[in-house]
Structure 1
Amino acid sequence: MQFTVFLLTHWADHCVFVYGLLSGVKVNGCSLSAQNDNFADMSHTKFPYFFHGRVVPGHRRGSTELSMPTANLDDAAIARLPSDFLDGVYYGIAAVVSDGKQYGMLMSVGKNIHFNMEERTMEVHLLHQYSEQFYGEEVKGVVLGYLRPMLSFPNLKELIDAIRNDVDTAKNLLVKIDIENYNLDQ
């Protein structure tokens, strides 16, 4: 069996996206296999991608099982995604509009195959500890790059390890960006 090698592409000195697949290799701490070859060449994806949406209740796994609370965005936010926006884990900058402060973020888009979910979701994890929930609030942000595809993991620990690795990767990629002053209104 032949597999495409992962390629890292740098864009504007701060965006990195990954495309291709190499079986048996770890990318951002995730072991990939041929069955996960469900994503294609990312060169067509336009970064930065600006988004907004209302926070709606989700399954609460992020805050309860994963210790990584997420803001689940409404169906309208998902419907606004370009038709060629691939499922996966992304990084960028986001803000709860009423708060006005901007933070680095991870965002997963797609069917959460680890939990056998059939619905496509858009979940934002702000790299900031909020003490309260913000259901009904608007979140806006910008996607700067792609980290990895949505994957199913052998167990919850490996999923948590992959998410922690995603957080570290996002922080490293965002270190040179003026997050607080990035214009999210484009």
Structure 2
Amino acid sequence: MSNQHDNSPRPPVAGPDEGPRPPFPLKLDGKVIKGFGRGSSELGIPTANIPLSGLSVGGHEDVDSGVYYGWAGLSPSKATHQHPPHAQSSEYTHLSHHLQETLSGIANDHDANEKGAVYPMCMSIGWNPFYKNTVRSVEVHIMHHFETDFYGSHMNLSILGFIRPELDYVSKEKLIEDIKTDIEVSGRSLAREPYARLRRDPYLLEFEGKGELAS
């Protein structure tokens, strides 16, 4: 784990252009739970957490801490029915307008139905050294604005690439700056055709009764 923020320029995309290489894609899942509550309130970047035990799905307990990108499938809920994937909001996606349009074009309306919905995501696995957490966490930022929460919904994750290791920061502002860059890198990376087509992986919408329609 790196100990501080690096001011060198960040690469615009992560992962090879021809598509994911082993060990990716990594697949894990879990029920959306309440986290530390800092994403929305302190950072302005809401996250959906799943239990750390989700890493055991597929045998990923030893996955390196850091920031990753990929696709997230959410089981049917009030949130996914009311706001399908193509209804992007720059206030929450932190993406350029052009990139929002590109990712919106990848979305298919029929995904937001009784099967659930698929969204681009950027996620962190680790200890969040800036906050000196004592437990490891799995925090997923879904690049979409939701009007309501979806605690209790089931989330299937297909992780397609690694962006950077976990870092510590001298200030909250530097942390927010890097997270917003992570989201932009995730969006650009997923917009490439070999990664965009993996949005149609049937696994993402295979819940087998794990998620229930939120009230």
Please tell me the TM-score bracket, short chain as reference.
0.7 to 0.9
Distance 1:137 1:183 in 2: 18
Instruction: Return 101-110 or 74-83, whichever deviates more.
Output: 74-83
**Runs of 4+ that moved beyond 4 A:** 7-12
Looking at structure 2, the residues matched to 9 and 135 of structure 1 have their Cα atoms a distance apart, in angstroms, of 30
Aligned-residue offset at 1:156: 0.7
Match of 2:75 among 72, 88, 97: 97
Rounded to whole Å, the distance in 1 between the matches of 2:68 and 2:170 is 22
Per the TM alignment, residue 15 of structure 1 is displaced from its structure 2 partner at its CA by 3.5
Q: 1:130 and 1:56 mapped to 2: Cα distance?
A: 16
Q: Is the 8 A contact 1:14 1:174 kept in 2?
A: no
CA deviation after TM superposition for structure 1 residue 86, in Å: 0.5
- Could you tell me whether the CA contact under 8 Å between 1:14 and 1:173 is conserved in 2? no
Contact in 2 for aligned 1:78/1:121 (Cα 8 Å): no
1:14-33 paired onto structure 2 within 5 Å: 14-15=19-20
SS of the equivalent of 2:166 reads coil
Q: For the residues of structure 2 that align with 1:136 and 1:9, how far apart are their CA atoms?
A: 31
Q: Deviations over 1:38-87 (max 9, x none)?
A: xxxxxxx6100111101111111001111111111024314435243101
**In structure 2, how many angstroms separate the alpha carbons of the residues matched to 1:154 and 1:143?**
29
- Which position in structure 2 is the counterpart of 1:114? 130
1:82-108, Cα deviation, whole Å (9 max, x unpaired): 243101110000021113111110111
Separation in structure 1 between the aligned mates of residue 161 and residue 119 of structure 2, nearest angstrom? 15
Higher relative contact order (CA 8 A, sep 6+): 2
TM-score normalised over the length of structure 1: 0.73
Identify which range, 120-129 or 96-105, moves more after superposition. 96-105
State the match for 1:34 in structure 2: none
Question: What SS does the aligned partner of 2:121 have?
Answer: strand
Match for residue 66 of structure 1 among 21, 32, 43? 43
**RMSD of aligned Cα (Å):** 2.4
Tell me: CA distance 1:9–1:61, structure 2 relative to 1, closer, same or farther (3 Å): closer
Report Cα offsets for 1:126-183 as digits up to 9, x if no partner: 1111111111111112000001111111111100000000011001101121365233
Tell me the distance in 2 between the aligned counterparts of 1:67 and 1:15.
30
Distance in 2 (CA, whole Å) between partners of 1:139 and 1:168 is 22
Aligned residues: 152
Distance apart, 1:12 and its partner CA: 6.6
Matched-pair identity in %: 30
Name stretches of at least 5 consecutive residues in structure 1 with no aligned partner.
1-6, 17-44
Contact 1:15 1:173 (C-alpha < 8 Å) held by counterparts: no
Q: Is the 8 A contact 1:103 1:179 kept in 2?
A: no
Using the size of structure 2 for normalisation, the TM-score is 0.64
On the 8 A contact 1:51/1:141 being kept in 2, the answer is yes
1:184 counterpart SS class: helix
Equivalent position of 1:123 in the other structure: 139
Structure 1 residue aligned with 2:95:
none
Alignment pair present for 1:50 and 2:69: no
Query: Does 2:149 match 1:133?
Result: yes
Are the structure 2 counterparts of residues 171 and 102 from structure 1 closer, same or farther at C-alpha, using a change threshold of 3 Å? same
- Quickly say closer, same or farther: Cα 1:179–1:101, change in 2 above 3 A: farther
Corresponding residue of 2:18: 13
The verdict on how the C-alpha distance between 1:79 and 1:153 changes in structure 2, with shifts beyond 3 A counting, is: same
